[in-house]
C-alpha cells in the first residue's frame, strides 16, 4: 500500500462520505449504535478545502497513506495542546490545517515554502 493517494481519493476502496453504507461485520450484523461507520470514518478523515485541492493539483502534491497517518497524528497532537490553526511541516511539504475541523486549508511543496511567511497560525508541528 505504498501507492500515492490522489486528490479526492484519500481512502482508496471506500466511497465518499455522502455515499457511505453501514458495513456489516463477519456475522452480517450491523454495528452497535454509537459505533457507526460514519463516526469511525470521521475520526480518521482529513478533509481538504477547495483551496487546498487546487494548490495540491497545481504543485503536484500527492499524499501517501503513511503521510496521511502522520498528518492524523500531528493533528491529534495539536488538538491535545488546544491548537486551532496549525502549520504542519514535513520534509518536502507544508500544510496549514484547521485542527478543529481536521481540514487542510492549503498545501505547499518544498519550493513554494521557501522565503514564505506563514500567518494566521497558532502552532506548528514538525514531523519527519
Whether residue 28 lies inside any domain: the answer is no
Q: Where are the beta strands (DSSP E) in 2-128?
A: 47-48, 85-90, 93-98, 103-109, 123-126
| 2 in any annotated domain | no
Indicate whether 22 belongs to any domain: no
From the CB of residue 18, how many other CB atoms can be counted at a distance below 10 Å? 5
Give mean pLDDT, residues 65-92. 94
User: Looking at the whole model, is its pTM more than 0.85?
Assistant: no
Q: What is the pLDDT of residues 5-36, one digit of tens each?
A: 555 544 444 333 433 334 444 444 444 445 55
Distance of CA 109 to the CA centre of its chain: 16
126 DSSP 8-state letter: E
Q: Is residue 10 part of a domain?
A: no
User: In the beta sheet, which residues pair with residue 124?
Assistant: 87
User: 3: which 3 cell numbers?
Assistant: 501507492
Between 27 and 47, the more confident residue is 47
For residue 89, being part of any structural domain is answered with: yes
- Total of domains in the chain: 1
How far is the C-alpha of 11 from the C-alpha of 6, rounded, in Å?
Answer: 9
Q: Which structural domain range is residue 103 located in?
A: 46-126
The answer to the question of residue 17 being in a domain is no
List the CATH number of the domain containing 73. Answer: 3.30.2310
pLDDT one-digit tens code per residue, 112-127: 888 889 999 999 999 9
Amino acid at each position: 500500500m505504498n501507492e500515492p493517494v490522489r486528490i479526492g481519493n484519500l481512502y482508496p476502496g471506500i466511497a465518499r462520505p455522502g455515499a457511505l453504507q453501514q458495513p456489516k461485520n463477519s456475522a452480517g450484523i450491523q454495528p452497535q449504535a454509537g459505533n457507526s461507520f460514519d463516526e469511525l470514518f470521521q475520526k480518521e478523515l482529513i478533509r481538504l478545502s477547495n483551496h487546498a485541492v487546487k494548490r495540491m493539483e497545481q504543485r503536484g502534491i500527492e499524499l501517501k497513506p503513511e503521510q496521511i497517518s502522520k498528518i492524523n497524528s500531528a493533528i491529534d497532537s495539536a488538538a491535545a495542546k488546544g491548537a486551532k490553526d496549525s502549520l504542519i511541516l514535513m520534509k518536502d511539504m507544508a500544510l496549514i490545517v484547521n485542527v478543529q475541523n481536521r481540514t487542510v486549508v492549503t498545501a505547499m511543496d518544498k519550493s513554494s515554502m521557501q522565503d514564505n511567511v506563514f500567518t494566521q497560525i497558532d502552532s506548528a508541528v514538525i514531523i519527519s
